[in-house]
Amino acid sequence: MLRVARVLAPNPGVRELEGTNTYVVGEAPAIVVDPGPDDEGHLEEVRGTAARVGAIVLTHDHPDHAPGAVRLAALTGATIHAFRPPTGGSRLRDGDAVSCDGVSLTAIATPGHTPDHVAFWNETVRALFTGDAVLGRGTSVIDPPEGDLVAYLRSLNRMKELDPRTIYPGHGPIVFDPARKLDEYIEHRAMREREILAALADGARSVEELVQTIYSEYPADVHELAARSVTAHLLKLHAEGRVERTKRGDEATYRSIQPRACARCGRPVRGKGPLCTKCSVEALQESG
């Protein structure tokens, strides 16, 4: 049995839902996952819930997850571990484990929401702490250039392969049916891609025009976030040779195109050359 106590940070918002979920994992000394904002009252509640903090781990360095780490470490003497740690913290790599009093959390690289995003995995009870990669309600924001949809889709599939029993998200309620939630996340991205391609079937559209079409039934206050998500999908489709950008800057528009096949292997070609990246490299090696 693994003790996991949630302490909700006082930072509700459109992105944060009810607030950031800070988790106290294990008995004293405990591991704290995402201490959240540098809020004195919140950090004191976390310290009281833990009784003693041995280590602090960060899923990523966004301001609603990470700033409280430095103060909590100063208050408790705990070490800080992250893929992009603050000064004095310890840099994690994929597969590294952080352990306290017999409880171990393994770092699972899950880039996409941010390049430094990491989930934490306890194999004993198959518990996965997902930060902003998977939320308890709604979907994660992929905001280019820091957000990368291709990397994010790989991360979703990696988390699915772990077959977690419980997901402890960075925001929203705990997830007790992780397989279904991860399938929903993957299908949601596929659905959004289909909607974008369908909207582009009638000709070039701007990001704003796509948002007005696809999110017409959503409140206006989510349209800014929706525009970032649409942009992430367009960048993926452009890299795959399925969408072409017809203008740049504020006047940028996109139109769907039929991917060209590599003259050598038949795979889709990115860019204007006759060969895919792999065959281009092989051709250079052969000629050299």
pLDDT tens figures, 61-101: 999 999 999 999 999 999 999 999 999 999 999 999 999 98
What's 245's DSSP letter?
Answer: E
pLDDT for the residue numbered 53: 97
Q: What is the mean pLDDT of the chain?
A: 93
pLDDT for the residue numbered 214: 95
pLDDT tens figures, 94-134: 999 999 988 999 999 999 999 999 999 999 999 999 999 99
Range of weakest confidence among 17-21, 47-51, 135-139, 217-221: 217-221
pLDDT of 230 over the 80 cut = yes
- Quote the crossing angle between the two packed helices 223-239 and 207-214, to the nearest 10°: 120
- List the chain domain ranges: 4-176, 191-256
Confidence of residue 271 (pLDDT cuts 50, 70, 90): low
Average pLDDT of span 154-182:
98
Average pLDDT of span 130-139:
97
Has domain 191-256 been given CATH number 1.10.10.10? yes
pLDDT for the residue numbered 288: 59
Range of weakest confidence among 112-121, 205-214, 227-236, 260-269: 260-269
d(CA 82, CA 91): 5
- CATH numeric code, 4-176: 3.60.15.10
Provide the whole-model pTM: 0.89
In this predicted model, which residue has the larger pLDDT, 285 or 221? 221
The phi-psi region of residue 51 (left if phi > 0; otherwise alpha if psi is between -120 and 50; otherwise beta) is left
Average pLDDT of span 142-170:
97
Beta strands in the chain (DSSP E): 4-8, 21-25, 30-33, 53-57, 79-82, 90-91, 97-100, 103-109, 118-122, 127-131, 166-169, 243-245, 254-256
pLDDT of 273 over the 80 cut = no
Judge if 4-176 and 191-256 fold alike in CATH terms: no
Confidence of residue 270 (pLDDT cuts 50, 70, 90): low
Confidence of residue 151 (pLDDT cuts 50, 70, 90): very high
pLDDT of 243 over the 90 cut = yes
pLDDT for the residue numbered 275: 77
List, in sequence order, every residue forming a beta bridge with 45; answer none if it has no partner.
none
